[in-house]
């Protein structure tokens, strides 16, 4: 018999090393006994604890019945199961080329151990067509990753269902229900993360293009990292209601720990005579500038202002003459410019998330978090004393009226506390970042209030600062600006890349509009024939030809350049439509008639999808063009060069 277990274990060692290690060290024959019939696929497994068989009758017959039952899921690219069974079902399902991924959650490690001895899943594990998870160890972070890293999985999440393998697994009903809840929460989070409004992305693109000439003049992110690499302790200072009580201890330790401060905390620290090492700004909103405008210029001395390329001009102006270090957020349109030395920070949704990312990239040994309540104080306050926009900037009663108030686990556990959906989103990103940290960093939450951040140690700040080395003071951060040669090389690159964005984008948009007009004409013909009772005149080849044209548009998304230039902005235009289209795509077609109906439904659904896509692309191209005009005052490009772009069809 071939050693399937070694093959599977080797594949798991690459894709799921922790699970591979557990399986490698597992002692067999603890709770289960295997019975195999004359047919090698006729495998039954007996639970010795209860003398219960996995299959109550003939395993092969039950499996064949299950395969027949799942024929209706033949067009589903993503399937989710609770229970590995004897593994035969999954080997059969994986023969379907339309199936991109099966996720199997198993509550009994011994059953998975047995199955991996009888079935070779190694190639599917390596290709991630099948993912095995220990059910008891599946937390939100692990499930969220299934959707966060796979756009198609998000699109098909509207047809998500967690299938129970068979009746044997009903004994794990409580665990099944809990995991199903986690899946639903993860799907909701992934959909909310996409958003339903493209304005933020459009504004971000505009600011990014406008700021690019300043970005390439600033010290690089790699330069900043080289200056703080391997330091001992960083303290992230957020602006929650609990911050005020931590200020005296922060003063004591400020000469020894690296203080990473979010923009909103700067005026508070300045008032208290505390100088942070780095201040972070992530957002594109104009009002963020006030945090810098409300601090005297003298207080800006010796601070590194780590800001992203999408910040507002007013914020940029407020930092004139200061040590500003730009970085790129990990968006498609920032990656497009290939300025790798400036990227990438800001995958999360807050400046505190950005600060944590930098700490991890710099390989700090310890991170202490203060003021990160992510919840209302017990007195209903939303921010710390002396916050620029007041301690009651966000009001719980207003959030409740808007349906934005939620309850989250409180710091220290033992109860729940009032929060908002946005703070909950920040919290989720924080927990995900901590869970995905690629080395053993000590993360301490010393907020002593607000929400619990899973993955952190909860230690009072007074005690946490005792862990900091005070035998010598920290070194100042000194950064180096690019040489003139480096600047000119990057300037040439960003100019050409921006012009290509517009010229190639206009050609792609023209193609999308062309296909839209073809689809619109065909749907009008549908309606006319239907009105006159002549639908039978429709030829199958007409529908197939139209769907082929739609598919040609979809192939644009296979091009890296197209995805980088347009995806961030247009996904909110088309994502929710694609979720509805996915429901049509998974519909089985058993007859010519049902096939024609499905094709017609797909064509109708894509009519508005194409319209939205063309409109979104047009908005992006126009905003890039307008942002490019701001470069004319710096002599980087002329009006004539920009006007020449209008002649491109």
- Shared domain for 247 and 157, answered yes or no, is no
- Shared domain for 183 and 267, answered yes or no, is no
What's the pLDDT at 533?
Answer: 75
Q: Which domain holds residue 33?
A: 4-194
346: region left, alpha or beta (phi > 0 left; psi from -120 to 50 alpha): left
Q: Which residues pair with 47 in a beta bridge?
A: 32, 52
- Shared domain for 342 and 391, answered yes or no, is yes
What's the pLDDT at 645?
Answer: 85
Residue range 416-457, pLDDT digits in tens: 999 999 999 889 889 989 998 999 999 999 999 999 999 999
Residue range 470-488, pLDDT digits in tens: 999 999 999 999 999 999 9
- Shared domain for 190 and 204, answered yes or no, is no
Q: How many Cβ atoms are within 10 Å of 362's Cβ, its own excluded?
A: 17
Residue range 251-301, pLDDT digits in tens: 999 999 999 999 999 999 999 999 999 999 998 999 999 999 989 999 999
Could you say which DSSP state residue 379 is in? Answer: T
- C-beta separation of 72 from 100 below 8 A: no
Q: Is residue 599 part of a domain?
A: yes
Q: Is residue 13 part of a domain?
A: yes
Dig out the tokens for 264 from the structure: 């909103």
Separation between Cα atoms, residue 576 and residue 550, nearest integer Å: 18
- Shared domain for 190 and 252, answered yes or no, is no
- Shared domain for 186 and 202, answered yes or no, is no
Closest C-alpha to 450, from 400, 415, 398: 415
At 369, the pLDDT band (50, 70, 90 cuts) reads very high
What's the pLDDT at 124?
Answer: 97
| Between 533 and 555, residue with greater pLDDT | 555
Residue range 46-58, pLDDT digits in tens: 999 999 999 999 9
Averaged confidence pLDDT in the chain: 94
Residue at which a domain ends, from 149, 171, 194: 194
Q: Which residues contact 421 (CB under 8 A, 6 or more apart)?
A: 192, 404, 405, 406
- Shared domain for 93 and 33, answered yes or no, is yes
Whether pLDDT at 39 is above 90: no
What's the pLDDT at 534?
Answer: 76
What's the pLDDT at 112?
Answer: 97
Dig out the tokens for 139 from the structure: 């937390």
**Distance in angstroms between the alpha carbons of the first and the last residue of the chain:** 64
Q: Is residue 479 part of a domain?
A: no
Dig out the tokens for 624 from the structure: 């890039």
pTM: 0.86
Average pLDDT over residues 595-609: 92
Dig out the tokens for 180 from the structure: 């199903």
User: Hunting for tokens 């994986």 — which residue is that?
Assistant: 94
- Shared domain for 155 and 174, answered yes or no, is yes
What's the pLDDT at 196?
Answer: 63
- C-beta separation of 583 from 159 below 8 A: yes
- Shared domain for 386 and 320, answered yes or no, is yes
Residue range 569-585, pLDDT digits in tens: 999 889 989 999 999 99
Separation between Cα atoms, residue 291 and residue 268, nearest integer Å: 9
- Shared domain for 408 and 320, answered yes or no, is yes
Half-sphere exposure of 143 (CA within 13 A, CB side): 26
Residue at which a domain ends, from 442, 467, 492: 467
Residue range 58-73, pLDDT digits in tens: 999 999 999 999 999 9
Residue at which a domain ends, from 194, 218, 240: 194
What's the pLDDT at 348?
Answer: 78
What's the pLDDT at 1?
Answer: 54
Q: Is residue 161 part of a domain?
A: yes
Whether pLDDT at 592 is above 90: no
Separation between Cα atoms, residue 324 and residue 315, nearest integer Å: 11
What's the pLDDT at 511?
Answer: 98
Beta-sheet strands, E only, within 330-445? 366-370, 405-409, 416-420, 442-445
- Kindly state the percentage of the chain with pLDDT values over 70: 99
Separation between Cα atoms, residue 490 and residue 458, nearest integer Å: 45
Whether pLDDT at 636 is above 90: yes
Strand 366-370 and strand 442-445: pairing? Answer: parallel
């Amino acid at each position: 018999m071939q050693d399937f277990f070694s093959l599977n274990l080797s594949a798991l060692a690459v894709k799921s090393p922790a699970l591979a290690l557990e399986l490698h060290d597992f002692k067999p024959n603890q709770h289960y006994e295997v019975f195999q019939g004359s047919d090698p696929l006729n495998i039954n497994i007996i639970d010795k604890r209860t003398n219960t068989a996995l299959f109550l009758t003939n395993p092969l017959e039950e499996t064949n019945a299950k395969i027949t039952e799942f024929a209706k899921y033949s067009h589903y690219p993503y399937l989710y199961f609770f229970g590995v069974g004897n593994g035969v079902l999954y080997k059969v399902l994986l023969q379907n080329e339309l199936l991109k991924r099966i996720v199997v959650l198993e509550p009994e490690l011994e059953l998975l151990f047995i199955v991996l001895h009888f079935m070779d899943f190694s190639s599917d594990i390596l290709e991630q067509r099948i993912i095995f998870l220990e059910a008891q160890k599946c937390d939100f972070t692990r499930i969220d990753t299934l959707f966060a890293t796979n756009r198609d999985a998000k699109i098909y999440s509207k047809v998500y269902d967690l299938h129970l393998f068979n009746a044997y697994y009903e004994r794990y009903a409580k665990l099944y229900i809990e995991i199903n809840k986690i899946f639903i929460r993860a799907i909701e989070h992934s959909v909310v993360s996409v958003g339903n409004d493209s304005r933020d992305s459009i504004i971000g693109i505009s600011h990014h293009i406008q700021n690019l000439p300043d970005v390439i003049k600033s010290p690089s992110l790699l330069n900043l990292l080289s200056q703080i690499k391997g330091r001992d302790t960083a303290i992230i200072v957020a602006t929650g209601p609990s911050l005020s009580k931590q200020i005296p201890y922060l003063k004591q330790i400020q000469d020894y720990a690296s203080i990473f401060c979010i923009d909103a905390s700067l005026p508070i620290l300045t008032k208290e005579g505390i100088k942070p090492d780095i201040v972070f700004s992530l957002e594109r909103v104009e009002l963020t500038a006030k945090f810098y405008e409300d601090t005297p210029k003298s207080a800006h001395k010796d601070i590194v202002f780590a800001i992203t390329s999408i910040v507002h001009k007013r914020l940029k102006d407020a930092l004139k003459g200061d040590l500003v270090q730009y970085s790129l957020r990990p968006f498609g349109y920032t990656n497009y410019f290939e300025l790798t030395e400036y990227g990438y920070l800001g995958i999360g949704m807050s400046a505190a998330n950005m600060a944590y990312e930098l700490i991890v990239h710099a390989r700090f040994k310890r991170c202490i978090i203060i003021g990160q309540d992510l919840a209302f104080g017990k007195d209903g306050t939303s921010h710390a004393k002396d916050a620029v926009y007041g301690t009651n900037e966000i009001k719980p009663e207003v959030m409740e009226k808007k349906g934005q108030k939620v309850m989250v686990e409180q710091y220290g556990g033992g109860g729940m506390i009032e929060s908002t959906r946005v703070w909950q989103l920040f919290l989720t990103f924080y927990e995900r970042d901590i869970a995905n940290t690629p080395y053993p960093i000590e993360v301490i939450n010393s907020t002593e209030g607000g929400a619990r951040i899973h993955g952190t140690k909860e230690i009072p700040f007074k005690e946490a600062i005792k862990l900091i080395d005070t035998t010598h003071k920290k070194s100042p951060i000194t950064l180096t600006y690019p040489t003139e040669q480096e600047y000119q090389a990057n300037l040439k690159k960003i100019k050409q890349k921006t012009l290509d964005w517009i010229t190639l984008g206009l050609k792609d948009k023209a193609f999308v509009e062309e296909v839209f007009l073809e689809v619109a004409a065909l749907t009008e013909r549908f309606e006319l024939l239907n009105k006159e009772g002549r639908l039978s005149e429709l030829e199958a080849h007409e529908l197939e030809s139209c769907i082929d044209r739609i598919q040609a548009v979809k192939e644009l998304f296979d091009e890296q350049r197209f995805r980088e230039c347009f995806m961030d902005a247009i996904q909110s235009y088309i994502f929710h439509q694609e979720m509805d289209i996915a429901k049509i795509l998974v519909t089985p077609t058993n007859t010519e008639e049902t096939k024609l109906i499905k094709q017609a439904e797909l064509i109708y659904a894509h009519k508005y999808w194409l319209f939205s896509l063309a409109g979104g692309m047009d908005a992006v191209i126009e905003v890039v063009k307008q942002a490019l005009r701001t470069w004319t005052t710096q002599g980087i490009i002329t009006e004539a060069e920009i006007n020449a772009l209008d002649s491109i069809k």
